[in-house]
Structure 1
Amino acid sequence: MRFATVDFQGSPRAAIDFGSHYRVTPFQDLSEALRELDGDIAALADISEFETIDAGEAILYATTKTPHKIICLGLNFTDHVAEMLHDRPAFPTLFAKYALTLTDPYAAIVKPEASNAMDWEVEIGVVIGKPARDVSLEHALDHVAGYTVVNDVSFRDFQNRTSQFLQGKIFERTTPVGPWLVTRDEVDDANDLAMTLTVNGELMQSGRSSQMIFGIAETIVYLSRILTLEPGDLLSMGTPSGVGAGRTPQRFLVPGEVMESSVEGIGVLTNRIISTGSSTS
């Protein structure tokens, strides 16, 4: 099944994607729906109170707008580690984002005046369904509601000011997520999917999730030793090579450019870069 968060009479609502139309539920987004339904995403189909929206008229918001936690992996693809001139990590490199960092799958993204090193990173997003604490590797994926696409837009000049990544990762409304949450049964193997990113149609990133150093189940196990993963939480699994900071010369985003971030079987994000004060339409 596929789910989305759509606009309904001016407000976001979790919805079920039926191809030609969306069935709208009472929940404001999929994170809230998962929390209220104890992680049972399929239970949305049993809710009797809903409206429908034609797919051609639907406005899609970030799949998860209100996650309690957003946990990201840096340096998690072998080729990306090499292009960034780092050693292969022995443990997951973790950083966090905040809900205010997220934006919609087709939203324009404002290039902040403070940064001149705005970079792209196509990633697989993992949305947690059931709570996970001290889980086993065998059952780790049982705690996954589904997958989405994330573009971890990064500001390298801020990121590289210290050894901690956080300040380069949390500019407001710069991390698009969506367009859909695709349930596990729709994806043959999330650890082996094609991932691409283009800028103005030029291929910048092309890799497969099989290059991940720490896979999805392994990451869930590791995180669940540290804290409880809750329904609606978002994990972003890292990016393959081809980022702007890893190129010679380095290449960063400027207003007017359009990114397309694609993960096989999950979806495509399309985001235009605009300058401060520009129209977001």
Structure 2
Amino acid sequence: MIIRYERNGKVKHGWMVEEDNKVRVIEGDIYKIQSAKPIMTGLELPLDEIVLKAPSAPSKVVCIGINYRDHAAEMDIDLPEEPLMFLKPSTTVVGPGEPIVYPKLTQNLHYEGELAVVIKKEAKQVKAEDAEDYILGFTCAIDVTARDLQMSDGQWTRAKGFDTFCPLGPAIAAKLDYQNLRIVTKVNGEVRQDANTSQMIFTIPQLVEAVSAVMTLLPGDVILTGTPSGVGELRPGDEVSVTIEGIGTLATHVVQAEE
């Protein structure tokens, strides 16, 4: 699996070798597919010598709302006839272990565990049947939401857009049967969401087609594919994690914004 890490002040990509607790260094741009194709070097680093970063540094995060039937029911919202899109700015993205900051402007912070799609090359007006050619892989995500602001504003930009509101990681699984993956969200070790990606309303190829019909997706951009039922509140001090089979566990915690 592909990771993005920091070591000695430099950020690079690597290939996670979990059984050996090591990372193989990748040189070059992982999004280049022509002559500048990245190469796997012979250099290996112990995991305790690196700091995991968000596996992608997207120009934008495109989110899909209400893409699981059970989540629509718990939110008392009609099923959408087409994908419901909204954006998170790039400044929402943090990596594994980097805290979610609880803003002063909200009194009702929620977690939403999600499967995230990472785009590997420029995608514009892509047809669903061609979507897989544009996907680098998949990772875990938490769509953090200030629920009270979402309800009061009537649109979602502020509620979804605070810094640290999009943890991603720990790695990008480059080859994955995304149609049938168990996704589990825990808060303080207690299971809050337990579902399967087979329960999505719109498939991932359909989402790539819908999003790329509106905006050009760039290498490294991320699509969050929606959350299942079981969303709920976070408080300062809480530990939250999302585990998706075939990818791993994204774990982080909540801290109160400084005065």
What TM bracket, shorter-length normalisation?
A: over 0.9
* Equivalent position of 2:237 in the other structure: 256
For residue 209 of structure 1, report the CA deviation from its aligned partner.
0.7
Q: Which runs of no fewer than 5 residues in structure 1 stay unpaired?
A: 28-32, 245-251
Distance of aligned partners of 1:204 and 1:169 in 2 relative to their CA distance in 1, 3 Å threshold = same
For the residues of structure 2 that align with 1:87 and 1:236, how far apart are their CA atoms? 20
SS at match of 1:116: coil
Query: 189, 193, 213: which one pairs with 1:225?
Result: 213
Output aligned runs, 1:119-134, within 5 Å: 119-134=110-125
Residue pair 2:99, 2:164 contacting (<8 A) in 1 also: no
Query: What do residues 245-264 of structure 1 show as CA deviations (whole Å, max 9, x unaligned)?
Result: xxxxxxx2111110011111
Superposed displacement of residue 160, structure 1: 1.3
Give runs of aligned pairs for residues 188-227 of structure 1, distance below 5 A: 189-227=177-215
Other structure's SS at 1:226 match: coil
- Unmatched tracts of structure 2, length 5 or more: none
SS at the partner of 2:226? coil
Q: Distance in 2 between matches of 1:180 and 1:40?
A: 25
Q: CA RMSD in A?
A: 2.1
TM-score (norm 2): 0.92
Distance in 2 (alpha carbons) for counterparts of 1:80 and 1:74: 9
1:15 has 2:7 as partner: no
Change (3 A) 1:176 1:259: same
Spell out the pairing of 1:74-89 with structure 2 (5 A cutoff).
74-89=65-80
Question: Aligned to 1:92, which of 83, 90, 102?
Answer: 83
Q: Which amino acid aligns with 2:52?
A: L
1:139 is paired with a residue whose SS is: helix
Identity %: 33
Q: Is the 8 A contact 2:7 2:49 kept in 1?
A: no
Structure 2 CA distance for aligned equivalents of residues 110 and 226 of structure 1: 31
Amino acid at match of 2:8: Q
Task: State TM-score, norm by structure 1.
Answer: 0.85
Shift of 1:38: 4.0
Shift of 1:165: 1.3
Distance 1:116 1:200 in 2: 19
Q: Number of paired residues? A: 257
1:120-159 mapped onto 2 (5 Å cutoff): 120-159=111-150
Displacement of 1:137: 2.2
